[in-house]
Amino acid sequence: MMLRALALALILTAAVFACGCEKKGAAEKAGEKIDHAYSEAMDKAEEAGDKIAEAGEMIEEALEEAVKGD
């Protein structure tokens, strides 16, 4: 959650600076690409975390069933 808040802060900061300029410079374009890549990476990491949690739950359920079967 802390990383998500940081990403949001970075994106909002970039948006504020973008509104102040008429033309986008090379650094600003690069910054936007970095922000976009970071956002996508965070989304993928969150998806991976969800899958790992789901797998952990499945393992836990399987272990409980195995113990009940004994």
Residue 69 scores a pLDDT above 90: no
pLDDT digits (tens, 9 = 90+) for 5-42: 777 777 878 777 766 656 778 998 999 999 999 999 99
- Place 64 in a pLDDT band, splitting at 50, 70 and 90: very high
User: What are the boundaries of each domain within the chain?
Assistant: 2-69
| Cβ burial, residue 53 (10 Å; 0-12/13-18/19+) | exposed
Q: What is the pLDDT of residues 44-54, one digit of tens each?
A: 999 999 999 99
Direct distance between the N- and C-terminal alpha carbons of the chain, in angstroms, rounded to an integer: 41
Instruction: Evaluate if residue 63 carries a pLDDT over 90.
Output: yes
pTM for this model (two decimals): 0.53
